[in-house]
Structure formats: C-alpha cells, structure tokens
Amino acid sequence: MGTGIYLFCISVGLIMSALYFVIGPKDISYRYSHKYIFFLMAFVFAFEMYAISLVNQGKPNVLVYNICFVIAETVVILWYLGIILENKKMRRHISVFILAFLGWALLNSLFLQNIAERILNYTYLLASLGISYFCVYFLFQVFNFQKYRDTSVVSIPYFWQVTAFLIFYTTSVIYFISQSITWDYDLYLNNFLGSINRIFAALMYLLLGLSFYAPMAFSKIYGRQVL
C-alpha cells in the first residue's frame, strides 16, 4: 500500500470520528471513549504527517516512529483497553504491563537497538503480544456472554475497535519477527510484508473512525436496544 492511500485511510477515519461530534446521538454512553479514540486518530495523523515531512526534507524519521508509534501509541491503546474492560483486576494487570513495557523499551533502546537508528522491533514485539492478549480477553468476555448480554455484538463500538486492534497487532507480530530474521538479506520480502502490515494498519484506523456509528447502523437491523 502506498503512503498516499495509507494517509487517505487515516484521514477518512479521523474525519468520520470528528463528524460524530456533530451528527452522533446525544447519548453519554460512548462520549468519553469517543473523545479518546478521536485523540488517538488525531495523534496518529499528526505524527505520520510529521514523519513524511522529515523524509521529504531528507531527514531520518526513525526516532519519530519509535517514540510516537512504538511507544506512545502502544501506551494509549493499552490504557484504552483498561478503560473498556471494566475489570479492576485486568486494569491492574494492564498498568503493570505498561510499566514493564516502558522499562523494556528503555533497556532495549539503551543496550540493544539504537532508538534513533532503527525501529525498536523487540520493544514492538512485546507491545503487539500484550495488546493481542488483552484484546482476546475482551472478546472472550463478549462471546462468553459476560458482557453486553442484551445487546447485539455488532452494534457495540468496542467490539469493532478491539477486533481492529487484534487483527493489526497479531499480524504485526509476524511482520516484526520476520523483519528481524530477513532484514539483512531479503529486502523485497521485507517491503512486501511491510506493505501488508500497512494495509492492516489502514483498516484499523478506518474501523476506529467508523466504530461509533455501529449502534446507529446495526441497532435497527437487529431490533435490539443499544446500551
């Protein structure tokens, strides 16, 4: 996937998220979570544009991606998962994981991978595994009818968001492991896998931007009362 299409998908997700402030229902159920996702989308769009501007100026952007994408976005997503899980025990686990992740990011950047020279693959691998685990836990609760028993699953914004996170970060595990193995001798394979990974990233941001329209889109179809 080209950079232009990738940015277009992020832009559409961001615009749709912004429009929800205007045309969305005046229901307070998702007000805080929508603002959180909108902030995430705006943050992603801002650092992606900045990273591209650095490339156009002939400057490296690895440091920007490591700080904003590998570290900051991971922490934001993990914190959001802690909010929507509504489970004190899992929130504690996520808080501990965030601290462990930040500690590992510091150690990795100091002793293993220079944060200004290449993507922190080892750090991002831990992030992908952690986010995937907490996403699976959330979906297990949903499909095991421990959450949202009286609501259609497809009308829940959190279902689409967590599914988007899970799809992207599980494929990221494969991508970053293969990148570490093949980086030095198969540039074509790395570029191909990177393109696939970017497609899933674009899909994730689109779903995040559209997710809060799910209650309006699906509640009438299934005739259920949306929380």
pLDDT along the chain (227 residues), means of 10: 87 94 77 92 95 91 94 96 88 95 96 89 92 94 73 86 94 74 60 81 94 81 44
Estimate the crossing angle of helix 214-222 against helix 157-182, to 10 degrees. 120
Question: Which run of H or E residues covers position 163?
Answer: helix 157-182
Cα distance between residue 27 and residue 113, in whole Å: 46
CA angle 93, 157, 221 (to 5 degrees): 145
pLDDT, tens digit, 9 for 90 and up, residues 90-122? 899 999 999 999 999 999 999 989 899 888 889
End-to-end CA distance of the chain: 37
Torsion of CA 114, 119, 121, 127, to 10 degrees: 110
Residue 186's pLDDT is what?
Answer: 61
Residue 145's pLDDT is what?
Answer: 67
Residue 182's pLDDT is what?
Answer: 53
Structure tokens belonging to residue 31? 């007000």
Q: Which residues of 29-57 are buried (b: 16+ CB within 10 A; e: fewer)?
A: ebeebbebbbebbebbbebbeebbeeeee
Structure tokens belonging to residue 57? 């100026």
Cα distance between residue 74 and residue 67, in whole Å: 10
Name the nearest CA neighbour of 63 among 5, 109, 10.
109
